[in-house]
Amino acid sequence: MTHDATRDNRNPAASRLDEAADAACSAMEETREQLRMAHGQLRAFADDLGRTVLDLRASRAELERSYLDTLNRLTLAAAYKDDDTGDHILRMAFYSEGIAAALGMHADGLRDLRVAAPMHDVGKIGTPDAILLKPGRLTPEEFAVMKHHTTIGEKILTASSSRVVRIAATIAGTHHERWDGSGYPRGLSSEGIPLEGRIVAVADVFDALTSKRPYKPAFEFDKALGIMREGRGTQFDPRPLDAFFEIAGELWAARDEVSSGLRTGENTR
């Protein structure tokens, strides 16, 4: 006697219950199979999505590298007339970033400053060679022309759609302002000068003092520090200047690494 025949002999209610249970079992099996398929599809979808995200990240990183490389090369081109090695550009990046880090600036700000600070003198592209490369002190008239590199740089960089280039515009326009208001081009003072400009002012003067220029020899480290200390609260904002003094030895060591080619724009901290 078959199983079904056994069922047929039982009371109809029990038989309907069994049929309902069978139907429920097969429905559950069908649902389980559908879930298995859906799970497989979801896993494949997740794998595709993961690969797409990785591809997008790689593309974005490549785009950012190209963008930074282009900015760096334009900055080098602008500086080429009076800095054919590009060392000043590199030093300005890590001096400025180092001072900002000692001040406790957040990581995004440090990265922006590292990229933007080297563009501070981009306006020198509009300074006549006779003035830019003059071996000797500038006359008052020549110095007045030289001062325009701040506003020229600001004009070149301002209104960019890139945040970091707008920061560079601010730096170009304010890195020769002085804490006491006696700087140029606008005679801004104290906190009226954007912090980035006050930081780059410290970095720029330190690099100028310790570098050979057409009108002066490179000063020794201690002599440069002494001159900078005299500018505390007059030429320089005391906060970034004090931060600079905290790490001056480290910056000096890094300066030697730049000169020997150990540091590049890629690995500058």
For residue 165, give the 3-state DSSP assignment.
Answer: helix
Taking the complex as a whole, the smallest distance from the CB of residue 211 to Fe ion amounts, in Å, to 13
Amino acid at 111: R
* Size of the residue set binding Fe ion (CB under 5 A): 1
Which CB sits closer to Fe ion, 68 or 208? 208
Spatial neighbors of 186 by CB under 8 A, at least 6 apart, are 173, 177
Is the CB of residue 219 less than 8 Å from the CB of residue 209?
A: yes
Taking the complex as a whole, the smallest distance from the CB of residue 154 to Fe ion amounts, in Å, to 11
User: Which string of b and e fits 137-167 if b means at least 16 CB within 10 Å?
Assistant: eeeeebeebbbbbbbbbbebbeeeeeebbbb
190: left (phi over 0), alpha (psi -120 to 50) or beta: left
Which CB sits closer to Fe ion, 112 or 121? 121
Token pair of 208, please? Answer: 């100028």
Which CB sits closer to Fe ion, 115 or 200? 200
Which CB sits closer to Fe ion, 15 or 227? 227
Which CB sits closer to Fe ion, 36 or 137? 137
Taking the complex as a whole, the smallest distance from the CB of residue 105 to Fe ion amounts, in Å, to 22
Per the listing, tokens 């990183």 go with 61
Taking the complex as a whole, the smallest distance from the CB of residue 247 to Fe ion amounts, in Å, to 22
Is the CB of residue 69 less than 8 Å from the CB of residue 98?
A: no
Residue nearest to Fe ion (CB): 121
- What x/- string results for residues 140 through 179 when contact with Fe ion is judged by CB under 5 A? ----------------------------------------
Taking the complex as a whole, the smallest distance from the CB of residue 160 to Fe ion amounts, in Å, to 19
Amino acid at 249: G
Taking the complex as a whole, the smallest distance from the CB of residue 78 to Fe ion amounts, in Å, to 12
Which one of the spans 53-61, 120-128, 237-245, 254-262 is the region binding Fe ion (CB under 5 A)? 120-128
- State the helix-helix crossing angle for 163-174 and 107-116, rounded to 10 degrees: 60
Token pair of 58, please? Answer: 């790689």
First CA to last CA distance, the chain: 87
Residues 182-241 that bind Fe ion (CB under 5 A): none
Taking the complex as a whole, the smallest distance from the CB of residue 238 to Fe ion amounts, in Å, to 21
C-alpha distances (whole Å) from 201 to each of 4, 31, 128, 165, 197 are 96, 71, 23, 18, 6
Which CB sits closer to Fe ion, 112 or 207? 207
Which CB sits closer to Fe ion, 9 or 227? 227
Among 100, 113, 118, 121, binds Fe ion (CB under 5 A): 121
Which one of the spans 1-9, 113-121, 139-147, 224-232 is the region binding Fe ion (CB under 5 A)? 113-121
Which one of the spans 2-10, 116-124, 158-166, 245-253 is the region binding Fe ion (CB under 5 A)? 116-124
Binding site for Fe ion (CB under 5 A): 121
